[in-house]
Structure 1
C-alpha cells in the first residue's frame, strides 16, 4: 500500500480506525522532506498492513498547528488511536524499520495502566 494523503477532515478517523498509522508532516519546499519521501514510500510498500499517511503542512496549516508541528519533516506514529512516537527530522531507512518494529511490539494497553 502506498501512502495516503490526510486532511483535517480525514485525520482523526484514519488514526482511530486503524491499528497502526504513521504520519509524515512535510512540505514541497523542504529538502529533508524530499529526501525522506522515497524512504517512507518504500516502507509503505514493505509494510502493507500498516497505514502510511502524509500531511502537506502548506495545505493543512490548521491541522499542522493543532498537531504542534514546528519543524518538518515530523514523523508521528499512532497505535490504537494513541500517539506513541513523535520526532522531527528525516529518519534513515534502518531507523524507520526499527521504529516500525518497536511500534508493532508496543503494548499500548499495558502502557496505559
Structure 2
C-alpha cells in the first residue's frame, strides 16, 4: 500500500504570531463563541460547528476535490479567538473521540505540525 502524504497543520493561538502565507497554504480562522446571545465559552451547538477543526479540514478537502478551491499543501489554523485552543489541538492529536467518517479521514490525511 502506498504511503499517503499527510498535510501539515499548524495551530496559532496568538494572532500576533500569524505570518504571511504562501499560495500552497490555507488559513482557517476559528471564531470566538459570541455574537448570538450567550457568553464566550458557553456550550452552543452552532458555535461548536463553526469551531470544529476536523469538520472544517474535511470541508477544505472536499472543496479542493470538487474544484471549488485551489489545492493546498499546508494549513494554518488561527485559534486565537477560541476560548480553549487545547481542544483544537486535542482534535488533531486524536485525543477526542471520532464522531463521523470525516474525523477518520482528517486523522489519516492531516498531521499536527506544531502550535504557536
TM-score, length of structure 1 as denominator length: 0.33
- Name the structure where helix makes up a greater proportion of residues: 1
TM-score, length of structure 2 as denominator length: 0.32
Structure with larger Rg: 2
- Name the structure where strand makes up a greater proportion of residues: 1
- Higher relative contact order (Cα pairs below 8 Å, separated by 6+ residues): 2
